[in-house]
Amino acid sequence: MSDKRIQSALISVFYKEGLADIVKILYNLDVKIYSTGGTFSYINDLNIPAEKVEDLTSYPSILGGRVKTLHPSVFGGILARRENRGDLEQLTKYNIPEIDLVIVDLYPFEETVKSADAEEEIIEKIDIGGISLIRAAAKNFNDVLVVSGREQYADILTLLKEKQGHTSIADRRLFAAKAFQTSSHYDTAIFNYFNIQASIPAFRESINMSYPLRYGENPHQKGIFYGDTDLIFEKLHGKEISYNNLLDLEAGLNLIDEFRIPTYVIIKHNNACGVASRENHFEAWKDALACDPVSAYGGVIVTNTSVDEMTASEIDKIFFEIIIAPKFTDSALKILKQKKNRIILLRNDSDRNNYGFRSLLNGVLWQQRDNSTESAGQMIPVTTRTPKPAELEDLVFANIIVKHSKSNAIVIAKNGQLCASGIGQTSRVDALKQAIEKAQSFGFDINGAVMASDAFFPFADSVEIAYKAGITAIVQPGGSVRDQESIDYCTSNGIAMVFTGIRHFKH
């Protein structure tokens, strides 16, 4: 029979907030309650009768609370198949009561890993009895309903109210699926903690939160974001964030985090089409937009500084999808909120993962983030002429941008401003020509500008083209068997070139 009436419940939870209403309705439905330790005391304080699990098992909690529920009198009552005569006969023989509902909230292992330094404290938060109760009850979903975490308290409360203690097979199966989601996520967190030292070559990721998107990269594709964007930003205004918006936000945040002085970045299709660093916030925005005002249309604006009224008034003049900043003045928000679909995000101060992964070929490609950002001191001169101080400053600036551009990538910059970039080209020469043509089309004087390349120049043709365009300093990783040809050309023509030894491919 698919419909079952709950007549007994075992409750053992870590977090008790929200539990009182559940316990009260169970009592009103004449459900017998078994409980453990702190949960029993909590229920007792509500003046609701409950039986200690120790009385059921005739064993006390032992080993400092490590063993409380691990007993046949508990697990037999959960796992017994109600339609199996042999199971029921054994329950009678050993005086084991049936348990129809199991409510568990596990020890907070992940939270403890984040907050504790002592391994002993972390290990003690690996739940044994609770996870076993969850798995047992979920396995026997034909007869038992399982609640596997406090995030399900509201769901079970609604179910109890609506069905007055009755459950269907669909109800129990759904809660069982959630239970195995809970247990798999919990075990993944424990494995990843141990694997920091063990380095077992196995991929495990588990994210419980999800955010349905309007669609994926294109309208005919389904899209879902798994994660918690609230950790990264607070949405203040605007329409739903799209799949492509999230990709652009990731690209923009990765880039803006490289800068310490006020900087504005404009992202389009995961690449920067405008970047400028200035001490004055307004000038930073104005010069970032000047890089490529055409591509900026419909872009994502990212900044590391407060957006004030004056800057907001200028930003409001163009159409853009998103702006994200660590702070907005009230007057700036009033201006920016005038467009109802415009997405305004307040960035939170939070850490992000130090690794990334993507799915391909029915598998997963994993790598550490590219955390190498070369300072002026790490740029080794290889030509007779060394960069002037202003050139060196621009080389560092350009090298940051090229690091976050799709390969093959070339960036041309001058005076802390992106002039143009050539991105996603199959040849480095094509990337350079694209950058030069684009800079000139927007009226930039690139005489005295600097150039950054994400990888080495296989031939001297790139530095020759750069010299003829007026570029006076170049940064590249080096490493080509023909490096000397590029070095010799630069030296002969007065170009300062530095090597970093670090390649920055991005695909």
- Taking only the tens place, the pLDDT of each residue in 347-396 is 998 888 889 999 999 999 999 999 999 999 999 999 999 999 999 999 99
The whole-model pTM stands at 0.88
Count Cβ atoms within 10 A of the Cβ of residue 201 and give its class: 0-12 exposed, 13-18 middle, 19 or more buried.
exposed
Q: What is the pLDDT of residues 293-351, one digit of tens each?
A: 999 999 999 999 999 999 999 999 999 999 999 999 999 999 999 999 999 999 998 88
Give the Cα separation of 80 and 148 in Å (integer).
Answer: 19
Q: How confident is the model at residue 63 (pLDDT cuts 50, 70, 90)?
A: confident
Instruction: Say which of 185, 269, 337, 339 is annotated catalytic.
Output: 269
3-state secondary structure 158-169: HHHHHHCCEECH
The number of beta carbons lying within 10 Å of the beta carbon of residue 143 is: 22
Give the CA angle between residues 64, 70, 72 to the nearest 5°: 145
pLDDT at 458 over 70: yes
The pairing of strands 299-303 and 263-268 is: antiparallel
Write the pLDDT tens digit of every residue in 221-239.
Answer: 999 999 999 999 999 999 9
Sequence letter at residue 369: R
Exposure string of 478-496, with b = 16+ CB inside 10 Å and e = fewer, is bebeebebbbebbeeeebb
Residue that is written with structure tokens 């010299």 in the block? 467
Q: How far apart are CA 233 and CA 253, in angstroms?
A: 11
pLDDT at residue 57 above 90? no
**Count of CB atoms situated within 10 Å of the CB of 183:** 19
411, containing H or E segment: strand 410-414
Residue 61 confidence (pLDDT) above 80: no
The pLDDT of 468-488, averaged and rounded, is: 97
Reported confidence tier of residue 171, pLDDT bands at 50, 70, 90: very high
- In tens, the pLDDT along 238-289 reads 999 999 999 999 999 999 999 999 999 999 999 999 999 999 999 999 999 9
CB 34 within 8 A of CB 9: yes
Model pLDDT, residue 1: 55
CA–CA gap between residue 307 and residue 305 (Å, rounded): 6
- Looking at residue 418, its amino acid is L
Q: Are 450 and 434 in contact (CB under 8 A)?
A: no
Active-site residue flag, 269: yes
Task: Point out the catalytic residue in the list 24, 52, 139, 185.
Answer: 139
Mean pLDDT computed over 199-212 = 92
What does the pLDDT read at residue 246? 97
Q: In sequence order, which residues have a C-beta less than 8 Å from that of residue 498 and are 6 or more positions away? A: 379, 380, 381, 382, 387, 392, 395, 473, 474, 475, 476
Whole-number pLDDT of residue 65 = 74
Contact 273, 291 (CB under 8 A): yes
Residues 435 and 411: beta-carbon distance below 8 Å: yes
